[in-house]
């Protein structure tokens, strides 16, 4: 055997051993296949920010055609449900306190009459904002409906209809489907969970069982050893992204608007980054518990600050700057742009560069901090 | 050239001095035993020699290779069996052996005649996962894996701890067999009775070497007359004997107490002086390595 192919052979031996161990594990192979499928099947159904079933109480002090028109418009809206039509504000307020009603619309007395002759008293809208999203979104829907009714009522008197002067178009996600926004995020969460945890647990497992010591007394170079921990999970990660894309296509009819290659390139870089990161954590940990807790801390930060669930633009400025050092942020950018907008690799080159740099940094760190000698 | 040379080796973990200024040599092809209780620094010495940790001061070489400078070359010529079973429990017997052979760039066939006497005993179970083997079989597999690359020096850290008496005895016979291949073996054990199986032994305690000699030489170095005593109430006897004239030391030793005496001691006088003690017996005994260990430890 020549010296030149020795590291390659050693790598292959370690690599095969890693896969053999994964296969022998009674749980891991099932997890790797079932986890992406289940997450992609179930999570998009429940992770929705669309606000539906806003319960509205109408306090009708006017009892006129105008107020009846208002009631029928509220009933007709697909987001709003008219649960109470009363003439007593305290009654509606009580329902709001009990949580049966989300928004109260009060139409003042003599509204229709005043509208015809002069400026009427104002319509008041009260929302329960305990759930801030539902409160503000519900309020928006009600305002729209009320405004629509008012325009109609005025329109019957004056010919110009204001709303016809505006056209609205939602680019890239025409139906404003929250699922299409979440599916790329779910794929990233899958990478973080599978490719972030498994390599770390594999190394710490060897530490706990003492086998790492047995490896350390052999002439295996540390880079070879680290690579043998990295590459299997990289392959698994590529498999996971494939499964996730197939499920997104078959179940939700969502296919990338951009090229599949752009997605795989991003995934390949991101998995390397997150695996290198997890190996670095493992090098500093002695036990599984320690690794898990440290990883959870970082994963929390990744999930909440990378624009996975909430837009980065609405974070405070210091937080926006901080997200620049979080690798998942760039992956979120890449995956959403390619999936929804069809952006080409060339236009996203800064994000790809950022991922490449972080992959190099974390894997170098993993190789350097892996000590064969204490 | 000696197979192992250790000069003034020291290692501390924080405030704990695990190894204090240790020096000794092991000759080529020698079966050398490190005998000492837990915490004597045996495992630290092994971890230093296998280049898993670096020394604070002093130097050591294996086959002329320095443990700090030449740590890479050392890893190819040393076989190491840690005290704790540390092969892959989810790989089979066969896969473990092949795996470690491949890591050293050899095949199982190349070294088969060397490991055969040991490996053949577990070969019927070669498809069984290593984690499912019995203690004695695990130990044989670990030894096979440590030998698969034909090391020049074999380092065995407490290989017989936690193994039944029959397997222990078999294991020492295997080591004797390996000696014939010219492999230098450094083995540690907390069991004094295993010391006689070694060519030479070093008695160690609290990070220091108390004495180095052949097992016979060690025993012969015990120059005080030694007696065994026995009575109904062994505990009371211990106190009484410790205060008797001519007795320098008394300690429990199996079902007897051993008393170390100086020239002025007379066993007949001892019996007469303490005839009130129920069932008192005294008999001269040959010193063992353990007696020597206790003597050296108290000095």
**pLDDT tens profile B253-288:** 988 999 998 888 888 888 888 888 888 889 999 999
* Residue A27 Cα, gap to closest chain B Cα (Å): 13
Instruction: Verify whether the Cβ–Cβ distance A1 to B105 is below 8 Å.
Output: yes
Can you tell me the distance from the alpha carbon of A54 to that of A41, in angstroms, rounded to the nearest whole number? Answer: 27
Average pLDDT value for chain A: 86
Candidates A21, A214, A218; nearest CB to B87: A214
- Note the CATH architecture for domain B4-220: 3-Layer(aba) Sandwich (3.40)
Residues A244 and A320 in one domain: yes
Residues A147 and A181 in one domain: no
Residues A138 and A247 in one domain: no
- Residue B299: how many CA atoms within 13 Å on its side-chain side? 12
DSSP string, chain B: --SEEEEEEEEEETTEEEEEEEEEEE-TT-EEEEE--TTSSHHHHHHHHTTSS--SEEEEEETTEETTTTHHHHHHHEEEE-SS--S-TTSBHHHHHHHHHHHTT--TGGGHHHHHHHHHHHGGGTTSBGGGS-HHHHHHHHHHHHHTT--SEEEESSTTTT--HHHHHHHHHHHHHHHTTT-EEEEEES-GGGGGGSSEEEEEETTEEEEEE-HHHHHHT--S-EEEEE-SSHHHHHHHHHTSTTEEEEEEETTEEEEEE-TT--HHHHHHHTTTSTT-EEEE----HHHHHHHHHH-
Give the mean pLDDT of A70-79: 86
User: Closest Cα to residue A273, out of A205, A218, A196, A369?
Assistant: A196
Q: What backbone phi and psi angles, to 5 degrees, belong to A165?
A: -80, -10
Domain housing A62: 54-165
Residues A198 and A273 in one domain: yes
Total domains, chain A: 2
Contact list, A20 vs chain B (CB under 8 Å): 91, 95
Instruction: Verify whether the Cβ–Cβ distance B52 to A215 is below 8 Å.
Output: no
Can you tell me the distance from the alpha carbon of B93 to that of B140, in angstroms, rounded to the nearest whole number? Answer: 10
Does residue A117 lie in a domain region? Answer: yes
H or E segment to which residue A311 belongs: none
Helices A327-336 and A260-284, packing angle to 10 deg: 160
Using the Cβ of B16 and the Cβ atoms of chain A, whether some distance falls under 8 Å is answered with: no
Residues A37 and A67 in one domain: no
The residue from A165, A185, A205 where one domain ends is A165
Q: How many angstroms separate the Cα of A317 from the Cα of each of A163, A312, A320, A324, B137?
A: 35, 9, 5, 11, 63
Of the residues A3, A19, A219, the best mutation for testing chain B's interface (the one with the most B CB atoms within 10 Å of its CB) is: A219
B 128-147 residues with CB < 8 A to A: 129, 145
**pLDDT tens profile A131-173:** 777 777 788 888 888 888 888 887 776 555 444 445 656 676 6
**pLDDT tens profile B15-40:** 888 999 999 999 999 999 999 888 88
Cα torsion angle, A186, A187, A190, A195, sign:
negative
Can you tell me the distance from the alpha carbon of A155 to that of B142, in angstroms, rounded to the nearest whole number? Answer: 91
Residues A91 and A210 in one domain: no
* Residue B21 Cα, gap to closest chain A Cα (Å): 20
Look at residue B88 in the predicted model and tell me its pLDDT: 94
Residues contacting residue B229 through CB under 8 Å, at least 6 positions apart: B237, B241, B250, B256, B257, B258, B259, B270, B280, B281, B282
The residue from A130, A165, A200 where one domain ends is A165
pTM of the entire predicted model: 0.81
Residues A61 and A208 in one domain: no
Does residue A139 lie in a domain region? Answer: yes
Using the Cβ of B90 and the Cβ atoms of chain A, whether some distance falls under 8 Å is answered with: yes
Q: Which residue of A has its CA nearest to B84?
A: A210
Between strands B256-261 and B226-230, the pairing is: antiparallel
- Residue A92: how many CA atoms within 13 Å on its side-chain side? 26
Instruction: Verify whether the Cβ–Cβ distance B87 to A14 is below 8 Å.
Output: no
**pLDDT tens profile A81-137:** 888 888 888 888 888 888 888 888 888 888 888 887 877 788 888 888 787 777 777
H or E segment to which residue A20 belongs: helix A6-24
User: Closest Cα to residue A69, out of A14, A100, A115, A132?
Assistant: A115
Look at residue A158 in the predicted model and tell me its pLDDT: 59
- Residue A253: how many CA atoms within 13 Å on its side-chain side? 1
Look at residue A176 in the predicted model and tell me its pLDDT: 60
Q: Which range has the top average pLDDT, A44-48, B92-96, B204-208, B234-238?
A: B92-96
Greatest Cα pair distance, chain A, in angstroms, is 102
**Two domains, one topology: B4-220 and B226-289:** no
Considering the domain B226-289 in this protein, what is its CATH number?
A: 3.30.70.2070
Of A13-22, A159-168, B94-103, B243-252, the range with the lowest mean pLDDT is: A159-168
Contact list, B52 vs chain A (CB under 8 Å): 213, 216-217, 372-374
Can you tell me the distance from the alpha carbon of A334 to that of A227, in angstroms, rounded to the nearest whole number? Answer: 26
Residues A136 and A268 in one domain: no
* Residue B299 Cα, gap to closest chain A Cα (Å): 34
Using the Cβ of B84 and the Cβ atoms of chain A, whether some distance falls under 8 Å is answered with: yes
Q: How far is CA B35 from the centre of its chain?
A: 4
Look at residue A278 in the predicted model and tell me its pLDDT: 94
Residues A76 and A180 in one domain: no
Q: How many Cβ atoms from other residues are within 10 Å of residue A263's Cβ?
A: 20
* Residue A370 Cα, gap to closest chain B Cα (Å): 13
Residues A210 and A255 in one domain: yes
Residues A105 and A208 in one domain: no
Q: First CA to last CA across chain A, in angstroms?
A: 31
Residues A186 and A92 in one domain: no
Contact list, A14 vs chain B (CB under 8 Å): 103
Can you tell me the distance from the alpha carbon of A229 to that of A15, in angstroms, rounded to the nearest whole number? Answer: 7
Greatest Cα pair distance, chain B, in angstroms, is 73
Sketch the domain layout of chain B as residue ranges: 4-220, 226-289
**pLDDT tens profile B121-132:** 999 999 999 999
Instruction: Verify whether the Cβ–Cβ distance A20 to B91 is below 8 Å.
Output: yes
- Residues from A in contact with B at Cβ < 8 Å: 1, 6, 9-10, 13-14, 17, 20-21, 24-25, 209-211, 213-220, 372-374
Contact list, A6 vs chain B (CB under 8 Å): 105
ipTM of the complex: 0.82
User: Closest Cα to residue A180, out of A76, A280, A257, A72?
Assistant: A257
Instruction: Verify whether the Cβ–Cβ distance B102 to A13 is below 8 Å.
Output: yes
Using the Cβ of B274 and the Cβ atoms of chain A, whether some distance falls under 8 Å is answered with: no
Contact list, B82 vs chain A (CB under 8 Å): 210, 213-214
């Amino acid at each position: 055997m020549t010296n030149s192919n020795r590291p390659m052979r050693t790598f292959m031996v370690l690599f095969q051993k890693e896969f053999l161990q994964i296969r022998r594990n009674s749980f891991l192979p099932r997890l790797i296949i079932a986890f992406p499928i289940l997450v992609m099947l179930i999570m998009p159904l429940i992770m929705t920010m669309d606000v539906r079933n806003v319960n509205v109480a109408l306090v009708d002090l006017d009892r006129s055609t105008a107020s009846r028109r208002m009631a029928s418009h509220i009933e007709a809206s697909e987001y709003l449900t008219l649960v109470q039509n009363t003439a007593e504000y305290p009654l509606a307020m009580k329902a709001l306190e009990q949580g049966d009603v989300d928004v109260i619309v009060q139409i003042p007395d003599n509204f229709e009459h005043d509208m015809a002759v002069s400026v009427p008293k104002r319509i008041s809208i009260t929302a329960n904002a305990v759930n801030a999203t539902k409160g503000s979104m519900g309020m928006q829907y009600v305002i729209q409906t009320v405004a629509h009714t008012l325009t109609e009522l005025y329109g019957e008197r004056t010919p110009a209809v204001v709303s016809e002067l505006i056209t609205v178009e939602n680019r890239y996600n025409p139906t404003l489907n929250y699922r299409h926004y979440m599916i790329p995020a779910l794929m990233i969460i899958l990478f973080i969970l599978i490719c972030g945890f498994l390599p770390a647990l594999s190394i710490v497992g060897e530490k706990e069982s003492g086998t790492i010591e047995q490896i350390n007394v052999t002439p295996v170079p540390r880079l070879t050893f680290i690579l043998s921990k990295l590459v299997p999970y990289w392959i698994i990660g590529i498999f996971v992204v494939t499964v996730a894309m197939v499920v997104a296509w078959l179940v939700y009819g969502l296919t990338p608007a951009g090229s599949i290659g752009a997605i795989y390139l991003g995934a390949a870089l991101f998995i390397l980054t997150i695996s290198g990161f997890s190996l670095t954590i493992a090098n500093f940990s002695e036990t599984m518990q320690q690794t898990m807790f440290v990883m959870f801390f970082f994963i929390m930060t990744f999930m909440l600050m990378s624009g996975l669930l909430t837009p980065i633009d609405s974070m405070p400025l210091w937080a926006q700057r901080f997200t620049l050092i979080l690798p998942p942020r760039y992956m979120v950018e890449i995956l959403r742009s390619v999936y929804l907008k069809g952006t080409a690799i060339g236009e996203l080159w800064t994000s790809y560069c950022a991922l490449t740099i972080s992959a190099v940094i974390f894997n170098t760190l993993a190789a350097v901090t892996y000590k064969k000698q204490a | 050239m000696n197979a192992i040379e250790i000069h003034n080796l020291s290692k501390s973990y924080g405030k704990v001095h695990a190894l204090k200024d240790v020096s000794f040599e092991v000759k080529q092809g020698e079966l050398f035993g490190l005998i000492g209780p837990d915490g004597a620094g045996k495992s630290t010495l092994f971890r230093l020699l296998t280049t898993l940790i670096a020394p604070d001061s002093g130097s050591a070489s294996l086959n002329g290779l320095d443990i700090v400078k030449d740590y890479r070359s050392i890893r190819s010529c040393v076989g190491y069996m840690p005290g704790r079973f540390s092969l892959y429990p989810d790989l089979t017997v066969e896969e473990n052996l092949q795996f470690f052979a491949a890591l050293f760039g050899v095949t199982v066939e190349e070294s088969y005649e060397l490991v055969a006497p040991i490996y053949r005993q577990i070969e019927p179970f070669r498809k069984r996962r290593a984690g499912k083997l019995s203690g004695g079989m695990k130990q044989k597999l670990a030894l096979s894996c440590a030998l698969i690359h034909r090391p020049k020096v074999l380092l065995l850290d407490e290989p017989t701890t936690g193994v039944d008496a029959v397997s222990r005895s078999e294991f020492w016979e295997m080591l004797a067999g390996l000696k014939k291949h010219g492999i230098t073996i450094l083995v540690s054990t907390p069991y004094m009775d295993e010391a006689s199986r070694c060519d030479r032994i070093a008695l160690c305690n609290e990070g220091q070497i108390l004495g180095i000699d052949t097992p016979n030489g060690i025993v012969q170095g015990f120059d005080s007359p030694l007696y065994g005593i026995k009575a109904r109430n062994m505990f009371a006897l211990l106190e009484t004997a410790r205060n008797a004239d001519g007795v320098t030391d008394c300690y429990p030793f199996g079902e007897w107490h051993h008393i170390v005496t100086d020239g002025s001691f007379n066993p007949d006088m001892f019996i007469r002086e303490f005839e009130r003690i129920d069932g008192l017996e005294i008999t001269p005994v040959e010193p063992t390595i353990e007696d020597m260990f206790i003597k050296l430890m108290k000095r």
